[in-house]
Amino acid sequence: MKNPPESESAYLSPKVWGIYTLLLTVAVPWYWQFIPGVACQVWLGLPAWVFVAVVSSFGVSLFTAQLLWQTRWPDEESEGDAEL
């Protein structure tokens, strides 16, 4: 089997999924139960643990969008980008 084109395999790299795993580890609030005093402080209207979860979610969105925005797909080379 041929290797997938570079831009398709870019999304499958261990580095990408390592970053997602790291973000998931922070985004899922499993650790806040051990620091209840900090967890329930209010940061910008949200409990601290929710604030961190939302910021992490934004991090996931940003990372995903950056991956999608920067990596052209193989078909784009030939399709001429007649858009909108």
Q: Name, in order, each residue with C-beta under 8 angstroms of 29's C-beta and a sequence gap of 6 or more.
A: 39, 49, 50, 52, 53
Distance CA 12, CA 17 (A): 7
**CA distance readout (Å), 33 to 7, 25, 36, 48:** 41, 14, 5, 12
22 interacts with another protein by CB under 8 A = no
79 interacts with another protein by CB under 8 A = yes
Q: Among 14, 15, 33, 37, which residue interacts with another protein (rule: CB under 8 A)?
A: 33
Residues that bind another protein (CB under 8 A): 1, 4, 7-8, 11-12, 16, 20, 24, 27-30, 32-33, 36, 39-40, 42, 44-47, 49-50, 53-54, 57-58, 60-62, 64-65, 67-69, 71-76, 79, 81-84
